[in-house]
Structure 1
Amino acid sequence: MDIREMVASITREILQSMNEAKTEPSPRVLYVFCDSQAHEAFADHFIQLKNHGICHDLLFLDGETSCWLGMHKIECGGAGKIIAADEYAPVPLEVPKDYDGIVIPEIDLDNAARVASGMKGTIKAEIIFSALVTGKFVLVGSDVPGIKRADRRTLATLTLPAAYEKRFHRHVQEMKELGVEFAEQKRLADRVIARLNAVRKKAEGVSEKPVLTPLDETEAVFTGRLLTADWVRSQPQLQGTTLQVKQGTIVSPLAVDSLRERGITLSYLGKG
């Protein structure tokens, strides 16, 4: 090869690598599943995320205190416990650093209680704690029974007793106050896309008009700062539903009247 051709080839490679380095990395989320079969029902979610340029990884629990992320086995470390199973694997607290958000389709009474109390000791509790502390969003499935998959199989039951169920819902409310977001399992991918799009537009300095974020068939979230009667009248689909607003949102007196006329219940996020 002529020396000039070689120099030109090397120059092209250097310029190409510089352009690739400038490319904005794709956003990435982590889905945390109870076992290696739980993800099969979410195949459409992953297609939807891919179509929106969002990468995802899957983490499978191997028990309450251990899990698999790719080929790495991650374990919780207790007091005085030394982990030697996989020296290259991150500890649970380090996992959220590589992701823009965490998605946990199903949470149970035990983990909900740990998260609500600020306790660690399980994979889910430590990952949620780390994500919230570092400012990452955490999405959890809202339509779950509160009893983990393994317990449902072992005990041959699908629901918690009434007393435990009441306690589970109390923990869920406390998790919301800590910043955990809940949505129906079938809409988790929609919430991930909406969340990451909002972050991108904020980074680009694009201001958004107040919008409705779907939660389920009977709930929606108003994301603006001022709720007016004109806005309520422009949303006929809210008739007879619940409209959630953020703490600090100003609701005009005429908007209150419009909500009442249309049978719309107003609920403040994070308020017990």
Structure 2
Amino acid sequence: MDVRQMIESITREVLQSMKIPQEKKPKWLFIFCDSTAHEPFADQFIALQNHGICHDLLFLDGETSSWLGMHRIECGGAGKIIATDEYAPAPLELPKEYDGIVIPEIDLDNAARVAAGLKGTIKAEVIFSALVLGKPVLVGEDVPGIKRSDRRCLKTLTLPLPYQKLFLRHVNDMKELGIEFAAQKELAASIIRKSRAIRQAAELAIPLPDAAGMQPADAKLITADWVQSQSDFPDSALVLRQGAIVSPLALDLLKEKGVKVHYVR
């Protein structure tokens, strides 16, 4: 081996060994109805990037098939799952790799499946898996409940009133399952808040036995004004339920008071 090549090889190995491990960034999965449905969300993707949040896009080309990058993912219904190539994950496996799932638009069929605990479509299986794994699921709330393909085929934008009522009932059932809804234009902001809360919970979480007898605060958003309004913090601790958000100013104020923040389920 040439001396220069040997020195270059040794230098490269030394530099690689000196690499500082980077903090893992949160990553969310967006599931879109087709390959053009993501275009109105370009600005929101920029906002996520600016806040250090990664995302992947999953495009559906049918109820039981979709594309994630170059990999085709298929599900053949309840009890039958097919990954068409060796590198493509099954729908149930997808949420394992993400901090949360985002479905900007859901329709009557998928809402009914999710509310009833049924599978058989990509969206239904991914949502089921995410909820079982305790991953957050965020769904657009300002949607008509009728598929994009059905709107184009039937030349209509809304469901008939009886179907609208049925869709709303399914939406309420989905909320009871723990699925969160937000306006489509606010999805990025919701992801940023949720990712911040998840990071805070991971940094400050304490084992549940250690929190025995400690009553979590009812507030979902802790602000500086809220902190100042509290006369006392027992044991110099503030216990919050997972999902509660502490503003940066409130966190600084709590540190000044010597109050530690803990999260419990």
* TM-score in terms of structure 1 length: 0.71
1:13 to 9, 12, 15: 15
Structure 1's 79 and 132: CA in aligned 2 closer, same or farther, altered over 3 A?
closer
Show the counterpart of 1:130: 129
1:155-174 equivalences under 5 Å are 155-174=154-173
Q: CA deviation at 1:15?
A: 2.2
Could you list the per-position Cα deviations for residues 152-204 of structure 1 after superposition, in whole angstroms to 9, with x for gaps in the alignment?
A: 11111111111110010000000000010000000000000000001112222
d(CA) in 1 for partners of 2:151, 2:68: 24
Letter in 1 for 2:120: G
Q: Is 2:26–2:54's contact at 8 Å kept on the other side of the alignment?
A: yes
Give the CA deviation at 1:9.
1.5
Maintained 8 Å contact 2:75/2:83 = no
The equivalent residue for 2:29 is 30
Measured against aligned partners, the alpha-carbon deviations of 1:217-263 in whole angstroms (never above 9, x if no partner) come to: xxxx95169xxxx96xx9xxxxxxxxxxx9xxxxxxxxxxxxxxxxx
In 2, Cα distance between equivalents of 1:82 and 1:194:
34
CA distance in 2, matches of 1:3, 1:150: 58
Tell me, in whole angstroms, the C-alpha distance in 2 between the residues paired with 1:15 and 1:205.
30
Give structure 2 stretches of 5+ with no counterpart: 206-217, 230-240, 242-265
Q: Which residue does 1:93 correspond to in 2?
A: 92
Indicate the RMSD between aligned Cα atoms, in angstroms.
Answer: 2.7
Pair 1:223-2:220 in alignment? yes
1:52 maps to 51
Change in CA separation of 1:37 and 1:11 when aligned onto 2, cut-off 3 Å: closer
CA distance in 2, matches of 1:147, 1:66: 19
8 A contact 2:83–2:90 mirrored in 1: no
| Paired position in structure 2 for 1:200 | 199
CA–CA distance in 1 between the matches of 2:79 and 2:29? Answer: 29
How far did 1:147 drift? 0.4
| Partner SS state of residue 204, structure 2 | coil
Aligned residue type for 2:36: Q
Distance in 2 (alpha carbons) for counterparts of 1:78 and 1:165: 26
- The verdict on how the C-alpha distance between 1:184 and 1:120 changes in structure 2, with shifts beyond 3 A counting, is same
Post-superposition shift, 1:10? 4.9
Q: State the distance in 2 between where 1:200 and 1:84 align.
A: 32
| Residues 1:36 and 1:48: Cα distance change in structure 2 (over 3 Å) | same
Give identity over the alignment, percent: 65
Shift of residue 79 of structure 1?
Answer: 6.4
Secondary structure of the equivalent of 1:157?
coil
2:32, 2:59 within 8 Å by CA — same for their partners in 1? yes
AA at the equivalent of 2:15? E
Name the TM-score, length of structure 2 as normaliser: 0.73
For 1:2 and 1:150, locate their aligned partners in 2 and report how far apart those are by CA, in whole Å: 61
- Cα distance in 2 for partners of 1:167, 1:80 equals 27
* In structure 1, distance between residues paired with 2:65 and 2:175: 25
Question: How far apart in 1 are the matches of 2:149 and 2:5?
Answer: 66
**Where in structure 1 do 4 or more consecutive aligned residues deviate above 6 Å?**
none
Q: Return 5+ residue gaps in structure 1 as ranges.
A: 207-220, 235-245, 247-272
